[in-house]
Amino acid sequence: MAKSAFDAPRFNDEAAAFAYVESKLWPNGPVCPHCGNAEAQRIRKMEGKTTRLGLHACYECKGQFTVRQGTIFESSHLALNLWLQVIHLMCASKKGVSTRQIQRMLSCSMKTAWFLTHRVREAMRDGFLAPMGGAGGVVEVDETFIGRKEGFEAKRGWPYHKNTVLTLVERGGAARSFHIEDATKEQIAPIVRENIARESHLMTDEARSYERLGKEFAKHDVVDHSRQEYAYTDRQSGVTVSTNR
C-alpha cells in the first residue's frame, strides 16, 4: 500500500514537527528573536517534564523562546504538527480547502479554523502586491457573509452575526479577500484604495460605501440589487456590468 504524505513524522508527532520547523527556520542553529543572538554556546535548549516543547533560553538577554515566536504559529495553542497538516492541505489541494473542512478535520471551533486558515493565507501572500486592474482593467468588489461570530445569535435581516469578507476580483486575473469587521466605508475604502489602480473600471453594487469611493477611479458602474438587478450590458462599451464573478 502506497504511503500517504501524512505518514511523515512531522504530521503525527509534535516533537518531530518542532524539529522540522527548526531545521527550516534555523538551518544554522537557534536564533534568539529578542536580541538576535545566534551563538550556539550562548543558547541552551530547556529540557524537563514540565518544560514547554521546543523552549530555548538565551544567555545574552535572559529571554526564553521557541521557534513559534515571530511566525504564524505564535499565540496559538494548537499542536505544531496539526498546523503543518493544515498548511500541507492548503498547499496541496488543487481546489483549496474550506474553513469548514479544516474545522471538521481538527474537531475545533469555527473561530479556531478561521484563525488558522486566515494566517496561512496571509503568509502565502507576496511581499509586495501590485495594484489590481489598471488602464482597461475591470475589478469587481463585493462583500459576503460567512459562518457565525462567536457569541452572536442568528437573526433575521442583516447578518450581523456572521463574519464579513470583502473580495476584489480582477476579470481575467487574481482575486483578493479580506476579513473585515463590518461592511462600512471606513472598513472598505482603505482596502479598495490600496489594492486597485485608479485607472481601473470599478464595478460594485449600490451600497453607499461605494458612492464617493467610485469617483476616485476611471469609471464606476453599479448593479442595483434592490431592483433585482444583477447584471447588464453597457451599451457604449459592450462590457457586462456585474459583481457575480
The pLDDT of residue 116 is above 70: yes
* Mean pLDDT across 77-103: 86
The pLDDT of residue 33 is above 80: yes
Give the percent of the chain with pLDDT over 70: 91
Q: Supply the pLDDT for residue 14.
A: 95
User: pLDDT tens across 167-188, in order?
Assistant: 999 988 888 888 888 888 888 9
Between CA 195 and CA 213 the distance in angstroms is 13
- All residues at 6 or more sequence positions from 229 whose CB lies less than 8 Å from its CB, including other chains: 223
User: For the domain 138-242, what is the CATH code?
Assistant: 3.30.420
The pLDDT of residue 56 is above 80: yes
- pTM score of the predicted model: 0.52
Q: pLDDT band at 98, cuts 50/70/90?
A: confident
Q: Supply the pLDDT for residue 41.
A: 92
* Mean pLDDT across 21-48: 91
Domain range annotation of the chain: 5-124, 138-242
